[in-house]
Structure formats: C-alpha cells, structure tokens
Amino acid sequence: MTTVLTDFQTRVNEIELYFSFLEKIINENAELFFPNKRRNSKSVIDPELQKVLKAHGFLILYNLIESSIKKSIEKIYEKVSAENVLYKDVRDELKIIWIKINYKNFKDTGSEEIFRTIERMAEDSITMTFEGGKAISGNIDAKKIREFASAYGFSSRTHWSARNGNKLVSVKSKRNDLAHGVISFAECGRQHTLEDLIDTKKEVIFYMRGILRNVEQYLTSKRYLKIPIQAA
C-alpha cells in the first residue's frame, strides 16, 4: 500500500502546483512575459483561457479519485493472491466476488460438475485480477466508493470535515460532461469561482486520503480474512 500512498501524494503535489498557478493567474492578475521580445513583452491572460484552466481543475481532481481507488483495489487483489489465501478463509464479501469472477458459467454446467466444483472450492486458493476498466472508468464518486467498501469489507468512514466526500459527485459529473463534449471547457469554468474549486479540491484530497488510510488498515489487519488479525 506504500506505493499507492506515494502515488497519491505525488498527484496531490501536482494538483497543489496547478491550483497555485491558477491563483496567481486569477487572483494576482499574472501576465505572460516574453523575454525575447523588445516591445510589448508582457501579455495578459485572456479571461476565456482562465475559464478553460479552471475547468481543467475538475479533470485532475477526478484523475486523483479514480487512480486512487483503482490502485487500492488492485492492491487488495494483489495481497490476497500473493498470500495464497484459501476460499474457506476469506470473508464472505470476497467469496462472492471470487465466485463471480471464476464461476460465471454455472448456469451452463451440469449438476454433477457444479457439485464437484463446490466440493473443491473450500480448498481453492483465491487468485483475483481486478478488471478496473469495467468497474471504475468514469463513474467514481463517494457513493461508488461506499459500494466498493461494502463489497470488499473496508471502512468508508472518514473524518466529519470530509463531509462524506459530497463534492466527489460534482467532480465526476463535470469530468464526464467535459470528456463527452456535453459542455465546453470555457462554459464549465464560467460556472465556478476559483474559491469553489479550491473548496472542492480540499474536500476531495481530505476524503480520498481518509479512504486510502482505511484500505491500508484493512490490509495491515488482514481484514480480507474471515478471522482478521487483532491490532496490537
């Protein structure tokens, strides 16, 4: 999980740099400077471009959300698979997921083969591969994260000041509208003040950091097992 948290912090640093840049442009009236020009070496940044740059804030915030959840779930699969945990020893939530992955064709299988399969399942080692493209792409918000938490058994509770990640749904919505051409970047930026974006940024980062810590605790305590290890 260390690599997931490191990647998260790297992306957070990139976001902070971008928002610092936005503040300089919008609040401090920054200008472009062209050192090789003798005359008119300064140029104001067009207001429409400022709106476009604000809209890009939603893209990098959504990138943080989706990448963090995808990598976290991949880490769960990686951990369980690497330890050769038996089917009988994992929590029921993971049993259900594993059955969905490995026994998709039960309905086309005869009763005798189903019986033999069920008999050997208890001693099967859990090997899982996460198909993130199907489960995640473009649809991650706090509600979806809570669904993942319920499905895998990690906590979705975060500090009250994260407000349950309420702003994630607007980030997802704006990202999808921009990605599918429903709205232009300038129009999106026109709808939001820089202060709105900064508040959204803070909440997204705080909420996602809390979720990642929950997944880290889940893995450290081996809560993917039916009987997890007890914290010291």
**pLDDT tens readout for residues 100-119:** 776 665 666 666 776 777 66
Cα distance between residue 21 and residue 14, in whole Å: 11
Cα distance between residue 39 and residue 172, in whole Å: 44
Cα distance between residue 156 and residue 180, in whole Å: 30
Per the document, the length of the chain is 232
E-assigned strands of the chain?
Answer: 31-33, 42-44
Beta partners for 31? 44
Alpha carbon of 86 to those of 82, 104, 208, 219, 225: distances in Å?
11, 19, 31, 16, 9
Cα distance between residue 172 and residue 167, in whole Å: 9
Instruction: Give Rg (Cα) of the chain.
Output: 23
The listed range with the strongest mean pLDDT (24-28, 42-46, 127-131, 148-152) is 148-152
Digit-coded pLDDT (tens) for 202-211: 999 999 999 9
Cα distance between residue 186 and residue 171, in whole Å: 16
pLDDT band at 89 (very low <50, low <70, confident <90, very high): confident
% of the chain surpassing 90 pLDDT: 57
pLDDT band at 174 (very low <50, low <70, confident <90, very high): very high
pLDDT at 229: 63
Residue 224: CB atoms within 10 A of its CB come to: 23
Q: Phi and psi for 150 in degrees, rounded to 5?
A: -65, -40
CB distance 187 to 48 below 8 Å: no
CB distance 171 to 208 below 8 Å: no
